[in-house]
Amino acid sequence: MADRPTCEELERRVKELEKEAVERKTVEEALRESEEKLAVIVASVTDHMSMMDEQHNIVWANDAAKESFGPDLVGNKCYSVYHKYQEPCDPCVVRNCFEDGNACEREREVIGADGRRMIFWSMANVAARRRNGRPKLVLEISRDITERKIAEEALRESEEKYSTLVEQSLTGIYIDQDEKIVFANDRFAEIYGYAREELIGIKSWKLVH
pLDDT given at position 168 = 85
Mean pLDDT of the 72-88 span: 93
pLDDT given at position 163 = 86
CB proximity list for 46: less than 8 A, separation 6 or greater: 64
CB proximity list for 77: less than 8 A, separation 6 or greater: 55, 56, 57, 58
Most confident listed range (9-18, 49-58, 150-159): 49-58
pLDDT given at position 169 = 86
Higher pLDDT: 93 or 5? It is 93
Task: Give dist(CA 48, CA 68) in Å, integer.
Answer: 8
Annotated domain spans of the chain? 8-44, 46-149, 169-208
Of 80, 53, 64, 71, which is closest to residue 139 (Cα–Cα)? Answer: 53
pLDDT-derived band at 85 (thresholds 50, 70, 90) equals: very high
Looking at the predicted structure, is the pLDDT value of residue 82 above 70? Answer: yes
Q: How would you write the chain as a 3-class SS string?
A: CCCCCCHHHHHHHHHHHHHHHHHHHHHHHHHHHHHHHHHHHHHHCCCEEEEECCCCEEEEECHHHHHHHCCCCCCCEHHHHHHCCCCCCCCCHHHHHHHHCCCEEEEEEEECCCCCEEEEEEEEEEEEECCCCCEEEEEEEEEECHHHHHHHHHHHHHHHHHHHHHHHCCCCCEEEECCEEEEECHHHHHHHCCCHHHHCCCEHHHHHC
pLDDT given at position 16 = 77
Note the CATH number of domain 46-149.
3.30.450.20
Task: Give dist(CA 197, CA 158) in Å, integer.
Answer: 25
Task: Give dist(CA 110, CA 82) in Å, integer.
Answer: 5
**Do residues 138 and 127 make contact, with C-beta atoms less than 8 angstroms apart?**
yes
pLDDT given at position 99 = 93
- What single letter denotes the amino acid at residue 203? K
User: Average per-residue pLDDT in the chain?
Assistant: 87
Task: Give dist(CA 118, CA 124) in Å, integer.
Answer: 18
The string of pLDDT tens digits covering residues 27-54 is 777 777 766 666 666 666 789 999 999 9
The string of pLDDT tens digits covering residues 159-203 is 888 888 888 888 888 888 888 889 888 999 889 888 988 889 888
